[in-house]
Amino acid sequence: MPKLIVLSEEMAGKEFPLIGEKLKLGRGPTNDIRIEDGSVSTNHAELVLDGNDYLVRDLNSTNGTRVGAELITERKLTGGEAVRFGRIDCRYESDVKRSSKPLPPVTRGIDLASVRQGRSTVFQNVSPFKKKQDKTTKVLQWVIIGLAAVALLCFLAFLYRFLSH
């Protein structure tokens, strides 16, 4: 049976079994789940059955509803998630067993069968650094920088002669 377990010190360990399709949560006396804390609004949130799990919906509460660290207006809960109403921390427990999916087959990488048999494999360069440039490219870059420096000096000499006359 799904349930909310209070984790906050004031009510630590208190459990609220979730029975029904729609449950109101808040500080007010008419709520299905009553949490008497000043940070919890009179009508704070509602829990709505959605399949086998519950969906939590904030009812424009003053201090908000969070699932994990996320401030929410509506969100489906999964087993083991932390839910916070105002400053009251809870954990949602579900009966639904989550099955893990198998990993997809490897489509890239090293072929271990060929490595075991002594065959060479092609490795791609995964380095974040660029491939080294050859020396002719470096020489060409320095020639261009030198020519730019000479052109700048000529322009400055021309300006000096023009402005001094």
Mean pLDDT of 11-37: 94
pTM: 0.57
- Average pLDDT, integer, range 108-119: 58
Asked if 102 and 81 touch (Cβ cutoff 8 Å), the reply is no
CB 21 within 8 A of CB 48: yes
DSSP 2-67: -EEEE-SGGGTT-EEE--SSEEEEESSTT-SEE---TTS-TT-EEEEEETTEEEEEE-S-SS-EEE
pLDDT greater at residue 107 or residue 43:
43
User: What is the spatial distance between Cα 18 and Cα 12, in angstroms, rounded to a whole number?
Assistant: 17
Closest to 92 (Cα-Cα) out of 25, 10, 27: 25
Query: Which tens digits make up the pLDDT trace of 60-81?
Result: 999 999 999 999 999 999 988 9
122 to 107, 111, 125, 132: CA distances (angstroms) = 15, 10, 10, 20
pLDDT the model gives residue 52: 87
45-54, 70-79, 155-164: the lowest-pLDDT one: 155-164
The percent of residues above 70 in pLDDT, for the chain, comes to 76
Stretch 119-129: mean pLDDT, rounded? 59
With a cut of 80, say whether residue 156 has pLDDT above it: yes
Q: What is the Cα–Cα distance from 67 to 64, expressed in whole angstroms?
A: 10
**Average pLDDT score over the chain:** 85
